[in-house]
Amino acid sequence: MRDEQLLDFLLDGQMLYVGAGQDMIREGVRPVFVKIVMEGWAARYKMLENGRRQIVGFLLPGDLCIPQAIMTMPLDHSIAAINDLHCAMVQPGQLDAVEQESIGIRRALAMDAQISLAIQREWTVNLGARAAPERIGCLICELYLRLKAVGMTQGTGYFCPLTQIELAEAAGVSAVHVNRVIKQMRREDLIRWRDQFIEIPDPFRLARACGFRPNYLQMSF
């Protein structure tokens, strides 16, 4: 079978719906299915003992949110839906069979794993070495390129269901600080954010302003 037919075979099965704000899976639970985001956004997060939440990654359409490699152990984090979420549920054996059948899909999954690791490294740099405006600017740039790769941008803008609280939980700052940064970015016309739509008038200018380099995504503007 061709790669397109193999992908149809993988995705033409059981679907999982998770309502906005609900957990798809919680820390400590061992996954049963490989899950692929088909529609909606999700967030990987860790809960601290003081009740604070740290978002450690965003999952977008096309992302493998429960990869096969972590199915042998309980999860060390939780995954929650940002907005209404639809995921394809794939049996591990089905994925094994498709990987054996197609070297192209096997390479694509390996590349996905490498880019996921690169994103985590970049987030570590973001939280450890960048100021709040740079953190938020880099995150906006990253989301733009990841959505562009799956055809989900409109010009140089994209639908973004994140609240300022969720952005704060990802950037490691307060929601009040995020609000100040967003206002300043608007004043400088680096972004235009209205009604869950972020427009970036000049992506190169925003990237320069926040020090964003897209090489870790294996993409470019």
What local confidence, expressed as pLDDT, does residue 216 receive? 96
**119 occurs within a structural domain:** no
What local confidence, expressed as pLDDT, does residue 7 receive? 65
Domain match, 43 and 107 both = yes
Domain match, 99 and 41 both = yes
CA separation for the pair 122, 214 (Å, rounded): 10
Tokens of 94: 């089905």
Domain match, 100 and 137 both = no
What local confidence, expressed as pLDDT, does residue 120 receive? 96
Q: Which domain holds residue 207?
A: 132-217
Q: Which residues of 35-69 are buried (b: 16+ CB within 10 A; e: fewer)?
A: bbbeebbbbbbeeeeeeebebbbbbbbebbbbbbe
Domain match, 85 and 137 both = no
What local confidence, expressed as pLDDT, does residue 129 receive? 96
**191 occurs within a structural domain:** yes
Domain match, 17 and 49 both = yes
pLDDT, mean of each 10-residue run, the chain (221 residues): 62 86 94 90 96 96 78 88 94 79 82 93 96 98 97 97 97 96 97 96 98 94 81
Tokens of 188: 């400088």
Domain match, 100 and 10 both = yes
Domain match, 16 and 100 both = yes
CB atoms under 10 Å from CB of 33, counted, come to 20
The DSSP bridge partners found for residue 57 are 44
What local confidence, expressed as pLDDT, does residue 71 receive? 67
**194 occurs within a structural domain:** yes
User: Of 82, 111, 140, which marks where a domain is finished?
Assistant: 111
What local confidence, expressed as pLDDT, does residue 197 receive? 98
**157 occurs within a structural domain:** yes
User: Of 81, 111, 141, which marks where a domain is finished?
Assistant: 111
What local confidence, expressed as pLDDT, does residue 17 receive? 95
The DSSP bridge partners found for residue 53 are 47
**126 occurs within a structural domain:** no
CATH number at residue 41: 2.60.120.10
CATH number at residue 204: 1.10.10.10
Domain match, 200 and 143 both = yes
Domain match, 107 and 9 both = yes
**69 occurs within a structural domain:** yes
The DSSP bridge partners found for residue 39 are 86
What local confidence, expressed as pLDDT, does residue 27 receive? 95
Domain match, 103 and 152 both = no
Domain match, 98 and 173 both = no
**80 occurs within a structural domain:** yes
Domain match, 31 and 107 both = yes
What's the domain count of the chain? 2
User: Of 111, 143, 171, which marks where a domain is finished?
Assistant: 111
